[in-house]
Amino acid sequence: MTIATTLTVEIDGVRFPARFETEAAPMTVAAVRRILPYEQRIIHVRWSGEACWIPLGAHDFGLGYENATSHPAPGQMILYPGGVSETEFLLAYGPVAFASKAGPLAGNHFLTITEGLDDLARLGRETLWTGAKTIRLTEAGGIAA
């Protein structure tokens, strides 16, 4: 028996089911779980392509790299643990080459939205044109056989 964990990612009132990537990024998932429920404003990226981000400044989650990628797929959320650039969350809604003004970066893929990618892309484009939106991450767990 394993614990099946699902999340809801809510952006501007639109809810998306998601899952933690627990096996691939256990330390990052544990760090994010400690801050749930999480609510913040999400803004469009400047360098990386079709994604939105939450800048976290000098926040230190105490993490290194695990399950790191520079090219998250639509619906994948990564945590950049800091170093060359500031700590941040990034949520891809289209093609992404994760970078900062200092150059290419990689972040820990820890969460995947499982449904509603068309709505996610629409909200991403809206964020580009109309500005910041509220994002909320909440967890609901259960038992799976």
- Cβ distance 65 to 22 under 8 Å? no
Residue 17: CATH number of its domain: 2.40.100.20
Longest pairwise C-alpha distance within the chain: 46
The per-residue pLDDT string of the chain (145 residues; one tens digit each, 9 = 90 and over) reads 344 468 999 999 999 999 999 999 999 999 999 999 999 999 999 989 999 999 999 999 999 999 999 999 999 999 999 999 999 999 999 999 999 988 999 999 999 999 999 999 999 999 999 999 999 999 975 444 3
Q: What is this structure's pTM?
A: 0.92
Q: How many domains does the chain have?
A: 1
Residue 108 belongs to what domain range?
2-144
